[in-house]
Amino acid sequence: MIWDYQHLLSRRLLLWSLLSVVLGLLVFGRGDFWRGFAIQAIVWAAVDAAIALFGLRGSLPRLFQTVDLTVAEKETRKLRKILWINTGLDVFYITGGSLLYLLRGANDPFLAGTGIGIIVQGGFLFFFDIWHATHAPLEKPLPDLGIFKETLHDTTDLPGKHGAILLVHGFPGSPAEMLALGEALNKAGWHVRLLRLPGHGTGFSHLFQTRVTDWLEEVEKNLNDLRQNFSPVLLMGYSLGGGISLAVASKVKPDGLILLSPFWKAEPWWVKWLALPVRTILPVSIYPFRTRWLKPEQFRAASTELLPGFNLDDPQVRRSLMDIRLPMVFLEQFRRLSQLIIQGLKRIEVPVLVVQGKYDPVVLPQGTQALIRQINAPLEYVETEGDHNINQRFNKGYAATEQAVLEFAERFRMRQ
């Protein structure tokens, strides 16, 4: 989060420098006072822009890298120290501008404008630095909610002999949500690996420190590992896992690809340009469970089946949920994943099965249909009576999903 904060701070400073340049150019020719003011606005803008661009260059590569909590804490303290030193310098600038205006401004309009220009620039930076110094976020793991403690929430292998299938779960789940399908495939003779994505399942406390590159690398590594010992090897992903599987399959070719309600988002051309200014004025993080649109009770159904340690009636658990701070940069990982999916769609060459719930409110059928129209590989599309839930107990379309998956997988076995 600290590198996103540095990136956001730099973008805000760059925005101020652009506004200063525009203001300076607008008033430059309006007399000696405004000429002095404009020169200060433009000169300070040039310095601010240089600092901002340097900050952007340093923070941008780290936005999509795994966050080390120890390193992040040191960076946060370092940034706070720099901002407090700058705050002291800002007081010096304001004092100097005030003395110039008071002692020389009465007799020289140009120096009066220069003094006021220094006061305005120093005053803005004073509030800018002190606000960002007091709001610099300290990276923390998620609180212990008593969930994902059992071994079924970690990577698990179900031994088999006739090929292998790598199963990739959704967000923010664990391998347990894929267990029923995994057991069905294992019963049919497949070696099944139920993969835990970094930051999920038993690693849930560090979810917000992981990045899309971590998820992709983990799937790719396990896919290559299975290919050393089994043939054929299929890749199956659900929801977020489906999107990750799509991105991986465009680079590392499995023998077949199974997508269950695959996550992706089409991005109109204007979103990329709008995201930059909008993101600049948004906070670095939000508290999702303090909003009206996301309530803890929405997790009760899932916790009954998959998270027996998740007690929503425990006041401590509810307080912990309310204190969860979601970094905005973490949400940008999903946008980045969608970009990678779109870039790789034309490179998908293996047979693909797509299973979509007709009543899915999360991954809409029309979105999935738009996705598969961009895939040129042999493709089979199955629409079930289910929703987004992959759970065998709650999903009305589970039986149809299992049947489609088993039939698709069996065709690969028959070719051996």
pLDDT of residue 304: 47
CA distance 219 to 363: 21
Nearest to 124 by CA among 214, 19, 240, 278: 19
* Lookup: tokens for 65: 């890298």
State the pTM of this model.
0.84
Nearest to 137 by CA among 295, 298, 316, 328: 328
pLDDT of residue 34: 95
Q: Which residues of the chain have pLDDT under 50?
A: 293-294, 302, 304-305
DSSP string for residues in 115-160: HHHHHHHHHHHHHHHHHHHHHPPPP-PPP--S-S-SGGGS-EEE--
pLDDT of residue 297: 52
User: Which element (helix H / strand E) includes 258?
Assistant: strand 256-260
Phi, psi of 222 (to 5 degrees): -70, -35
Do 382 and 357 form a contact (C-beta atoms < 8 A)?
Answer: no
pLDDT of residue 300: 54
pLDDT of residue 278: 80
Facing residues of 238 across strands? 260
Indicate the residue type of 179.
L
